[in-house]
Amino acid sequence: MGEGRAALDISVMPLIAGSDYRELIDLTSGVQLEIGSADPHDSTIAHWVMALNRESDAYRSIGSMASSMVPGLSADPLGWVGEAIGLYADKDPFWAELANSEDWEQHLMENWPHIPVAFVVEVESSLGLAAFLTALRTFTNQAAPGMTLWENRKHLERDYVRIAASPDFADGEPEDSFLHDLALYYASMPGILVFSFREDVIHHAIERHGQRKAGDTEFDQQNPWLGTSLALRLDQQIFHTPMFWEDSRQDIGSWVNLPILNEWHRLYPDRDPMAVHEELWHTRLLCPGGGEYVWNEEWQTMESTVYGHPWNPKLGPRVPLGLLELLHADFGLSFEADGLRASAVLQR
């Protein structure tokens, strides 16, 4: 514990033979995340990365499945893949619109092609990737002729590709069909392949690649991944998105303290129930919304100043106070010596 900072580092050794981590261990064993794995950058609200062992049984089964589904691919269609994959969400006004929408799930369904997220695959062999993309495009055109449009575009002298429904095919769909707006973009750069539904996300990835090529790796060096097998990095903005708090009933979390406080009020009517509880149990009860517990004479019960009580509830803050205080959080998982090491750092 430190000023504005909390960190955890725990190891479990050895893991049991039937551990639920077994598949992850198989996928990540023998390789480690590097400082610059999967395009780390400071403009994300969430970034997940995983080391990838291409010799693992799980990975080989994925390659075999891809080879059988797409004729024309080589026996090892994913032989071009490097040692890490990642998924990230960039900072964008989209998240504020989502948080402020009346029905965030409906808003997400209607606007998912505009989500500023990207999938990153590290590339071991550029020639292998070129052969894979060529075979995939040929198969798509043969399996669904005239349904997709592949368009080459350029940003900062770097080529990237836009894949969308062909105009003839999209025109045959209803006006509110997502096919009118949906497009998949990808950019292949030395060492990395990036996919996104947002063109500007691809532009930013190309710009970062140029900066790293010019020697700008300051962020990478100062912010290494916390784990060597898997890592997750969260920024302040994601804690305000409804995915974090929609299913978390903060009012109930506040109300669970009321029965014992009511009992202290009954037994010691002249004393503050909060003080009684703290004296007896050396623990101070907290309201997750940052409110105080006070006596409501009308309803004859203790209540939260921000959430009220079950018979007369108040709306209160939707986002848990603890999340609002976080600036960012880092999590890491490393499989080592027949065990695992889990790490976390929270910055308030």
Q: What is the pLDDT of residues 180-216, one digit of tens each?
A: 678 999 999 999 999 999 999 999 999 999 998 888 8
Residue pair 206/62 in contact (Cβ under 8 Å)? The answer is no
Beta bridge partners of 2: 5
CA atoms of 312 and 1, how far apart (whole Å): 38
Beta bridge partners of 276: none
Using left for φ > 0, alpha for ψ between -120 and 50, and beta otherwise, residue 290 falls in: left
DSSP state of 303: E
pLDDT at 59: 85
Question: Residue 67: which pLDDT band, with cuts at 50, 70 and 90?
Answer: confident
- Across the range 257-278, mean pLDDT stands at 97
- Which of 139, 142, 144, 163 has the alpha carbon at shortest distance from 69? 139
Long-range contacts formed by 303-309: CB under 8 A, 24+ apart: 303/258, 304/251, 304/254, 304/255, 306/254, 307/250, 307/251, 307/254, 307/255, 308/251, 309/255, 309/258
CA atoms of 128 and 142, how far apart (whole Å): 21
Helix, strand, coil % (nearest 5) of the chain?
35, 30, 35
- Across the range 326-346, mean pLDDT stands at 93
CA atoms of 236 and 327, how far apart (whole Å): 5
Give the side-chain half-sphere CA count within 13 A for 291.
Answer: 26
pLDDT over 70 (residue 252): yes
- Across the range 222-234, mean pLDDT stands at 94
Compute the C-alpha angle 114/118/124, nearest 5°.
155
- pLDDT tens profile 145-167: 878 889 999 999 999 999 998 87
Q: Which residue has the higher pLDDT, 44 or 112?
A: 44
pLDDT at 20: 86
pLDDT at 65: 79
